[in-house]
Amino acid sequence: MIDLARVIELPVATSEVWSVLWDVQQMARCIPSCQDAEEVEARQRYRATIRDRVGPYQVEIPIDVSVDELDAGTRLAVKASGRDTVLSSHVKVSMIIALAPNGAGTSLTLHGKAEVGGKVAALGRSVVQRKTHDVLSEFAVNLDRLFKRHSDTATV
Assess whether pLDDT exceeds 60 at residue 156: no
Q: How far apart are CA 21 and CA 43, in angstroms?
A: 10
Assess whether pLDDT exceeds 90 at residue 69: no
Q: How far apart are CA 136 and CA 120, in angstroms?
A: 18
Which pLDDT band, with edges at 50, 70 and 90, does 58 fall under?
very high
Q: Which domains does the chain possess? A: 2-155 (3.30.530.20)
Q: How far apart are CA 142 and CA 78, in angstroms?
A: 19
pLDDT, position 50? 97
Cα–Cα distances in angstroms (integers) from residue 32 to residues 39, 59, 72, 138, in the given order: 18, 13, 27, 7
pLDDT, position 30? 97
Overall average pLDDT of the 42-51 stretch: 96
**pLDDT tens digit string along 11-28?**
999 999 999 999 999 999
Q: How far apart are CA 18 and CA 131, in angstroms?
A: 27
**Residues counted in the chain:** 156
**pLDDT tens digit string along 77-118?**
999 999 998 999 999 999 999 999 999 999 999 999 999 999
- All residues at 6 or more sequence positions from 152 whose CB lies less than 8 Å from its CB, including other chains: none
